[in-house]
Structure formats: C-alpha cells, structure tokens
Chain A
Amino acid sequence: GAGVSQSPSNKVTEKGKDVELRCDPISGHTALYWYRQSLGQGLEFLIYFQGNSAPDKSGLPSDRFSAERTGGSVSTLTIQRTQQEDSAVYLCASSLVPGTDYEQYFGPGTRLTVT
C-alpha cells in the first residue's frame, strides 16, 4: 500500500524566503511526527500531532517554525524567513496510533537548501 509521502523532495530557497513542506501520512494513521536531520547528524524531533492537535511542540527550534494538520491527515511544516542553518532533510513519520509501541513509518524526506 501507499507509504508516507512528502513534497517537494528537494527545495532550494533564498535566505529570508518562506517555505512550506508537505506530508501525506499513511491513511488511517492518527499520529504524525516531524523531524529534522542535518548532514551526518541524528534526527531532531520537531513536533508531534495526535489527530489535528499538537500536544508537543517542544522541538520547534524557533518561532519561525510552525506546523498544522488538517482533517487528521495532511500536515504542513512552514518555515518563515529561512536561514542557512535551516538547511537539512525534513522527515515526516506516521504511526497507527500515538502509542509507545507503534512503529513509525517515515517518508523519504524533503531536502531543504537555503542559499
């Protein structure tokens, strides 16, 4: 079946511009996660959705970052006034329910380059 999809796969933007990244989770998955992975680094947790609400936004690095989820499905991560340090791969994952034992399925990521 269809896995997690993300778009765009690659995004090059100029410093100061806003970008919007999209994640389509697996149908029926209620939990959705956003992570960031810089080159050669581990995954940095950004935000988690349970349905349309985000109980944990603690990982968002600054107020330039925001995310929303609508209809319990698609999520968008928006970065305003992008900076060069925002360059990274942004990964989205979904799981069936927001439980501690459920596998997360990852999308292929969006590679963001801020010039």
Chain B
Amino acid sequence: RKEVEQDPGPFNVPEGATVAFNCTYSNSASQSFFWYRQDCRKEPKLLMSVYSSGNEDGRFTAQLNRASQYISLLIRDSKLSDSATYLCVVNMNHKIIFGSGTRLSIRP
C-alpha cells in the first residue's frame, strides 16, 4: 500500500462547479499535511496547509480527519485557472511524502 494515495483523476468539471478530492495516508504518526498545486511542466507550489480544525482560503477548504487518516480539498465556484494537478503532501519527521496527484480540468 502506498504511504499517500490519491485518485489520479482526471476530474473534468464545468466552470463554476464544486469539486472535492480526498487523500489517504497510511502512517498514523504523520504530523503535518499540505495541498500543493502543480501546473503542467512547472514546479509544485503550496496551495494551503491542512489543520485539524479545518481551514478555508477563499474558494478552497481543506479538512483533516486523523481518525480515518484522510485529508480533503474542496474547491467551490471553480475557475478555468484552477486546472492543474493537486498534490497531497504528508510530513512525518521531515520525511515528506507526496501523493501522485489528482488532475483537475475545468471546462468552459
């Protein structure tokens, strides 16, 4: 079993739709969690950290469920510019594990 698993997608949704991704992790001792965004042939960039209490940044909401060992990302009112690969990242004692990413494509 992979340490961090994501649905690879692609998710193809119309502009304005709400879309959600989940990511599961295998190590219960994992300490911190992030969502990164990677555009085609570009480097990853931090989208948001994920806190136990859940956090929101504009149209983006991230949640962590430690009991079930998954994190989620919700994107509301999706824009064309949201098209990218979304990488789930789990950090345990500085060992950084990236998921293989979920591809999102927003269509007009």
Query: Which A residues have a C-beta under 8 Å from some C-beta of B?
Result: 31, 33, 35, 41-45, 48, 50, 55-56, 58, 91, 98, 100-101, 103-104, 106-109
A35 with B98, Cβ < 8 A, contacts A43-B87, A107-B43 known: yes
CB pair A45 B45 closer than 8 Å: no
B100 to chain A, nearest CB (A): 3
Docked CA distance A98–B34 (Å): 15
CB pair B98 A45 closer than 8 Å: yes
Which label, helix, strand, loop or mixed, suits the secondary structure of the B interface? Answer: strand
Docked CA distance A100–B93 (Å): 7
CB pair B100 A100 closer than 8 Å: no
When the two chains form the complex, which single residue of B42, B44, B46, B94 contacts A55, counting CB atoms closer than 8 Å? B94
A-B interface pairs (CB < 8 A), number: 46
Residues on B with C-beta less than 8 A from A104 are 46, 96
Count B-side interface residues using an 8 Å CB cutoff. 19
A42 with B96, Cβ < 8 A, contacts A91-B43, A100-B32, A106-B43 known: no
CB pair B94 A56 closer than 8 Å: yes
When the two chains form the complex, which single residue of A42, A100, A107 contacts B94, counting CB atoms closer than 8 Å? A100
CB pair A42 B98 closer than 8 Å: yes
25 A/B residue pairs, CB under 8 Å, sorted by A: A31-B94, A41-B100, A42-B87, A42-B100, A42-B101, A43-B87, A45-B95, A45-B96, A45-B97, A45-B98, A50-B94, A55-B94, A56-B94, A56-B95, A58-B95, A91-B43, A91-B44, A98-B94, A100-B31, A100-B91, A101-B32, A103-B49, A104-B96, A106-B44, A108-B42
